[in-house]
Amino acid sequence: MENYIIYEEIGKGEATTVYKGRRKETINFVAVLSIQKSRRAAVTNWVRIAHQITDDYVVHFHEWYETTNHLWLVLELCTGGSLQDILDQDERLPLSEIKKMALDLCRGIHQLHKNDICVGDLSPSRLLLDGPGVVKINNLSCAHFESEEIEAIYQSVVDEVTQGIEADSLDEVGENAFTNPVRNIAYHSPQALVGHVTLSADIWSLGSILYRMFTGTLMYKGDEIDDVLMQIKKDSPKSKIDAMKNLDENAKPEEFKNFKDLLHSLLEYEFEKRPTIETVLDHPFWGKKITKKESESLSSTSKSYFGTPKGSKNPQETTIRDEEDAEKTLTQSMMDRSIE
């Protein structure tokens, strides 16, 4: 982390603290994430997928580091907060704003799907906005190629790092270094809830997010998978969408009709019947055709990448920086910061 100046804390989660940072000798401001090693598998997978994608609608990954007690990610700084923050403040949004924000989200999904990558856990808390208000997909810890299973990827990280560790030490290592994928099941498709995560699962999540943005409520609530599945079977998305009223007094009837039609297609129970993201981008709701340039795919690179963070040689033989030095750097940077 010696290449960065760390400023104030700008966010905090269960296992992550986010700081505003700046690369030394530049005016390039970044987000610096300090993550507990209990999330090693998630971070390793995030980095693996981030190396496949460079896009304006996906939060840009710069580099990662490892110290004694933490993993550190350096990412693009998005100063507009998350979509969840906006929904917490405003409850719901007009169709004009939903259209702009959702189109950004669709463009990000499009680039990932063109590379055969499932986002795996789309939710408002994982969508960030930059200063001008562009929506970007953040946190690719649950993302994977459609042919893969995320649990197997996480397990491969565990196997790689624990290779050669004595059996009686594995419990301690497992407790301190690895966890299963952490997901927001409220936005998951019925198939994803039972472990079948494909590109079409992201399409359902997109629909769930748009429904939340317009109505101000979750389509389905619950902390347990069985609870959510039961709600979906008892009260189908079709019935919920049909019952929607136009809460936006400025929305034209045709615009609202197109929005409901889009939701119906996105939230189709049978995953084979859901549209591809390319078809979604051609829907009349957007009011314009997406340009060819916007629909161009990235060059697909399906290589397997398990990069090693700076500060360590490899997962089996790790040379780690002294955590005290990292903490001193953090403290000194905050004391010496020249920008508030």
Query: Please, is 103 exposed, middle or buried when counting C-beta atoms within 10 Å of its C-beta (0-12, 13-18, 19+)?
Result: buried
Q: Report, in angstroms and rounded to the nearest whole number, the Rg of the chain calculated over CA atoms.
A: 21
How far is 136 from 138, CA to CA, in rounded Å? Answer: 6
Tokens of 199: 């590109």
Q: Comparing C-alpha atoms, which of 83, 81, 84 is closest to residue 104?
A: 83
Number of other residues whose CB lies within 10 A of the CB of residue 145? 16
* Helix, strand, coil percentages for the chain (3-state, nearest 5): 45, 15, 40
How far is 86 from 163, CA to CA, in rounded Å? Answer: 44
Residue written as token pair 């700076």: 310
Catalytic residue among 56, 116, 121, 336: 121
116 is annotated as an active-site residue: no
DSSP secondary structure string for all residues of 55-109: -TTBPPEEEEEEBSSEEEEEEE--TT-BHHHHHHHHSS--HHHHHHHHHHHHHHH
Tell me if 74 sits within 8 A of 47, measured CB to CB.
Answer: no
**CA geometry: angle at 215 spanning 214 and 220, to 5°?**
115
Tokens of 141: 């810890």
Tell me if 74 sits within 8 A of 29, measured CB to CB.
Answer: no
How far is 248 from 256, CA to CA, in rounded Å? Answer: 9
**CA geometry: angle at 72 spanning 67 and 75, to 5°?**
160
C-alpha dihedral over 229, 13, 111, 133, to 10 degrees?
110
Cite the active site residues: 121
